[in-house]
Amino acid sequence: MAEGRLDIGSVFDIIQDIGETAGLLLQSFAGGSASGQLGLCRSDYIKAVEDGVPSFDPGGLPEYAGHPFDIVNDNVPTFSEEDKAVGVGCERYSELDEMGRCGAAFALVSEETMPEDGESRRAIKQIVPSGWHDVEYDFVEGRKLYNRCHLIGYRLTGEHANERNLITGTRYMNHAMRVFENMVADHCAQHGDAGVLFRVTPIYRDDELVARGVQMEALSICEDDAPLQFNVYLHNIQPGVRIDYATGASCRDDSVQDSMVHDCIVNDAAKTFHRTSCPSVQLIKDGRMRKHTGMRQELIDAGYKPCGRCRP
């Protein structure tokens, strides 16, 4: 196994035991409104921890089951004493392995490591990460299935086209990653002397070129009244798409769905729900529709069906 990379092999297929429920420090995560898109927002993470979402051992991360992330190790990161002793500005990016895959990326993030106000990220399209395919689906936001995902986001360290920091990631995962990156950035902004240890580890199965997901860990190391910590696993999937992780090829598959809906429109007469942007919403008569913010599965369990036109 290459240093800095976690290969969970066949463990995905044999997860049976779940750990103790997570109950953690949430003071610095207060707030966070729902996104207008399907997917994850900060309040979803807070609610998952408060509700005691099962925690998985780092060596036994789960298959995707309709939720963008899972909590790892009771949400406690596993930084070593050596990691905690690094100085501000420390960044470490694993060398690409023999298959061209990225490994773990680590940094001590602070306001000092972030880009200057007004600075823009430079082009990164010249980087072709392992498993990359330039493919589009009309139901994916922005149409592109894959993004060049920064392991450590540009907002945190100002990294541009660093091939050791860019992986092939879905739009769905990239959106979820930004939620956790923003938690780190916001914490540093709220606490001027704050430093946050941050590590992102792509998780591969065997010799596959595309990561199954990423493990994201954060721990604030300054003394304050609102410490930040998390240890989560984000799934590299896209609702409506089946991915061949060995090659990065993909195909349409409506059985792959997330369990979350935000700001959708419910037609109580037809027992359907729609994206807010769906043209069919304009055809629903007054008094028969209402706005719903919540989990997709809640509506399905109540007997509602997703619109076949906008596929929420």
First-to-last C-alpha distance (Å) of the chain: 40
Dist. CA 218–CA 215, nearest whole Å: 10
Per-residue pLDDT of the chain (312 residues; tens, 9 = 90+): 444 444 444 333 323 232 322 333 333 333 332 233 445 778 778 877 877 777 777 677 788 888 889 999 889 999 999 999 998 889 999 999 999 999 999 999 999 999 887 777 788 999 999 999 999 999 887 889 999 999 999 999 998 899 999 999 999 999 899 999 999 999 988 887 779 999 999 999 999 999 999 999 999 987 666 789 999 999 999 999 999 999 999 999 988 888 775 678 999 999 999 988 889 998 888 888 888 776 676 777 788 888 888 877
**Alpha-carbon span 247 to 69, nearest angstrom:** 23
The pLDDT of residue 39 is 56
Rounded CA gap, 45 and 38, in Å?
A: 14
pTM score: 0.75
pLDDT at 24: 30
Residue 261 is predicted with a pLDDT of 56
Compute the distance between CA of residue 152 and CA of residue 200 in angstroms, rounded to an integer. 7
Residue 218: its pLDDT value, please? 96
The total of other beta-carbon atoms located within 10 Å of residue 81's CB is: 6
pLDDT reported for residue 238: 94
Written as six digits, the tokens of 167 are 């992986």
Which one of 3.40.50.720, 3.30.565.10, 3.20.20.70, 3.40.570.10 gives the CATH number of domain 24-252? 3.40.570.10
Residue spans of the domains in the chain: they are 24-252, 261-306
CB 106 within 8 A of CB 198: yes
- Beta-strand ranges (E) seen in the chain are 6-7, 55-56, 69-72, 91-93, 105-109, 146-150, 166-170, 196-204, 213-220, 229-235, 241-243, 250-252, 261-267, 272-274, 289-294, 305-306
